[in-house]
Structure 1
Amino acid sequence: MTKIMNTLRELKVLQGPFLPFNMEDVPDDPKDLFLHWLEIAIAQGVPEPHAMTLSTADADGFPDARVLILKNLDHAGFHFAISSASRKGRQLSVRPQAALTFYWQKLARQVRVRGPVVDLGPKVGGADFAARPVGSRAAAMLGRQSEVLSEDAELDAALAESLRRVEAEPAAVSDLWRVYAVRIDEIEFWQGAASRRHERLRYRREGDAFHRERLWP
């Protein structure tokens, strides 16, 4: 057994106690349960509780994932904002489906979402862009995310020029900036347990309503 294998085996996981999860007393709409769990995570001091892993696939079906911030949750679904020219933006233009994963380690809770992705349009994207900090807008204006970078000086010069533009034109909006929503076709709430008797509840969309079902751990 290798050193790293031993190290990984010795790491402690799921050291409770954790909050109970009564699956008999849950709302019909999973958005309400998610917001309740999010409020608990915020109150319990979970770091960056709105951080989520976005999983997409490219034209060949090869999966990709990265961590983003949840922007909103409404009837359209879970919102996130990215450049349409980024790798994830290009992937979504070919395969407009995605999965989201939230993990709140302190609470031993996960939420997993799957569904189609919809571009909410330039008005929503522009409003989100305008609300971003100056530095974030300057970085987004570059429009070169994931391109190969030759040297730090090139990046520093481009950022400085973009920052000057944003400060000179505070109302300027990137044409590439978009807000997308993942519609909830399926969402699972996972409550971990030190005993490994985990609790799992899945909602599946059926028309305009959701069917609830428990899952084996």
Structure 2
Amino acid sequence: MSEPRQIRDIVRGVPVFPDEMPPFDPGAAPASPIALFIEWLERAVEAGIAAPHAVNLSTVGDDGAPDARVVILKDVVETGWQVASSSDSPKGRQLTARPAAALTFFWPAAGRQVRVRGAVSTGSTQENDADFQRRHPVARALVLAGTQSSVVRGRDDIDTAVAEQVRRIEATDGLTSTTWTVFTIAPDAVEFWQADHERRHTRLLYTRFGEGWRREILWP
């Protein structure tokens, strides 16, 4: 039998960055990282980058070890970046017990990355309910039917439970969830990373400074 291929052989030669990438001048960056993020996100959408609102959410588990998963960005408001989940899901419990998180956006087609770190707060009942109502009926049914990440016997159990909750949603106007929660990550630090073919990447770091922000360029 032939020897299995080594990972380094599989990935060797795979392009890391696109041939053309957007320019980035840190000197022209706005005073607020939120303003720059919205500008980058709008350009990513205009460029047709797949799922630019998908973000890696990193939390800390009960054992003190890091945990991460990809979720969808809900909104960016004056107080920070917003994601949502059931409070009884693993990430919901982690964000409640240890209210701090990191977000990582990666847009390889633009050679761009954005990293956000900060404290976490939860939305009001009105905010949570409004976000829940904006979700697809099946997505709402999944929340109402069971606890995310709990063990099930098979797909049939999921389908039966979801069908029952969809009927409830259709029969009850404005049916809400007691666990659905909007989490806001208030940034202490935000880094914008623009790739360079020669690996002289441009990195601009915003850190809280009084009521405003300090901007610093980092070594690649």
Aligned CA-pair RMSD:
1.2
Q: How high is the sequence identity, in percent, across the aligned residues?
A: 44
What is aligned with 2:152?
Answer: 149
What is aligned with 1:47?
Answer: 50
What is aligned with 2:70?
Answer: 67
Residue type of the partner of 1:143? G
Is 1:195–2:182 an aligned residue pair? no
What displacement does 1:132 show? 1.2
What is aligned with 1:97?
Answer: 100
What is aligned with 1:109?
Answer: 112
What displacement does 1:15 show? 3.3
Distance 1:49 1:170 in 2: 32
Distance 1:36 1:15 in 2: 20
Q: Deviations over 1:11-62 (max 9, x none)?
A: 2211322111011111111110000001110110011111111000112211
Distance 2:198 2:18 in 1: 9
What displacement does 1:116 show? 0.3
Distance 1:173 1:144 in 2: 15
Answer whether contact 1:53 1:101 (CA < 8 A) is retained.
yes
Answer whether contact 1:16 1:193 (CA < 8 A) is retained.
no
Given the alignment, which residue of 161, 178, 183 partners 1:180?
183
Matches within 5 A, 1:15-34: 15-34=18-37
Answer whether contact 1:17 1:194 (CA < 8 A) is retained.
no
What is aligned with 2:170?
Answer: 167
* TM-score w.r.t. length of structure 2: 0.95
What displacement does 1:211 show? 0.3
Answer whether contact 1:85 1:143 (CA < 8 A) is retained.
no
Distance 1:143 1:114 in 2: 30
Name the SS for the 1:106 alignment partner: coil
Distance 1:49 1:55 in 2: 17
What displacement does 1:162 show? 1.0
Name the SS for the 1:138 alignment partner: helix
What displacement does 1:140 show? 1.3
Answer whether contact 1:83 1:143 (CA < 8 A) is retained.
no
Name the SS for the 2:45 alignment partner: helix
Answer whether contact 2:114 2:192 (CA < 8 A) is retained.
yes
Is 1:216–2:219 an aligned residue pair? yes
* TM-score w.r.t. length of structure 1: 0.97
Give the 4+ runs in structure 1 shifted more than 4 A.
none
Q: Which runs of 5+ in 1 are unaligned?
A: none
Distance 1:34 1:181 in 2: 16
Given the alignment, which residue of 76, 80, 83 partners 2:79?
76
